[in-house]
Chain A
Amino acid sequence: MRHRRIGLSIYAIILVCCFCGLVIALFSYQEPTGQLGAIYLSRAPSETGAANIVTAIYLNYRLYDTLFEILIFSVAVLGVRFYLSDYREKEIVEKIPESQIVRTSADLFFPPIFLIGIYLTLSGHLSPGGGFSGGVVAGTALLLCAVALGANTVGKRFYEPTLRWLEWGVLLVVLSLPLLPIVVGRLPFTGLLPPGTMGKVISGGSIPIYNLLIGIKVFIGTWVIIHYFMRHRGEV
């Protein structure tokens, strides 16, 4: 017991020292020359046509990273599905207390939140947003509906028949889209569409397409997570 306590104290001291060292290192750290950043900033607008440089980087120059991010998200959704299937479904779905406030606010807020999700998804190349955050926002709108009407009611309308196929189909399309340039004799992971003029709605090459597909994928994934949690762990 005593030895353990001493060991823990030494461990804590080492951790604190490491932390202090990191903080000192952080402050004495010389900023990188900024060459790479400057290159991105000067070349991205003309090369990608996206007004939002962040999007230009993660959906054009670093598309490779983003694809694996989507894969990670899919694996997370798969994990939720797999582990929650062990819990037996609630046989009697608990009645949602009829709260007028929740129902009215769901009616009132569902359309704008869903629209904001779509807007964020489609305008990712122009302003902050993109498929990931847009998809989650749209999924959260569905969550509001599920809280007000019950997960099973919403699930019947949204999930069962088509979404499962759509989810994996979209994933397949997203993963195979970067290989499409090979068909026309170009290197994979290069842009297919012309960049267009920066700031226009239709610009940024294939970035809006990727954003849309990622948005659909994340939207469905979010809904699957919410639906499985609600169905197998009880209503809220």
Chain B
Amino acid sequence: MNRTRRRKAFSGIVVFLCGAAVFLALIPLFFVFGYVIEKGFSSLSWDFFTRMPKPVGEPGGGMANAMVGTVYLIVIAGAFAVPVGVIAGVYLTEYGKKTFGSLVRFTADVLNGVPSIVIGIFAYGLAVLPVKHFSALAGGLALGFMMIPIITRTTEELLNLVPGTLREGALALGATRARAAFSVMVPAALPGIMTGVLVALARIAGETAPLLFTAFNNRYFSTSLVQPISSLPVQIYTYAVSPYEDWHRQAWAGALVLVGFVFVFSVLARVVTRRLERMHRA
């Protein structure tokens, strides 16, 4: 009897500790959200989304160029990181069971852990130094390098979850290994792969460090690949470290928009996954 009571008490304590841990884990999230909304919402206006930055001292103005720039950079990054990452993931699943595969896997994990500023320096050396010019391309490259390991590893993990009997079914019909991978395995894992891609996008959307000396910044509206381009994180950073009160307010508004961006990506990831999964189950 006594023993039972002790066990129940112990169980209660553990449940309480779990709840407390969850609470502690969520507090920062709520504070960040709350603070950003509180500070940023008042500065949000239609102009903020549609207008260009104004010189110091002139009231108003917005971050239209930075928002478009961020989308632009994400598209450039995704355009090469998604195919490279997915194909590398297919390689790891289908052919990477030996030493070289482990090496690739390890390298991807290390690359994933490399500080983003280092990635920025690498992209600087690769795409800025040779042409002696900051560019949107260099910024997209830096962000793409950060996406590749995430997409590679998610793709691999999700392909491993697809029943091997599907691969065998395709091979038994006379498919080559590559054909089976791309016509059966990848489509079967597509909901998860899409999620991985969107998570990777959400992850890099807010990166500042890799853009500081690749995409740099631009006071003007630009959609040129070879010109510097503005982005929300860099714009926020620039405004936040300035001494002007008005710019600080704009920085908060920008932060709110950026958080909103990432939030939308995350929700989108969920919705897309659900929808595709439902299609597969029919």
- Whether A associates with B in a native complex is no
Q: Give A residues with C-beta under 8 Å from B.
A: none
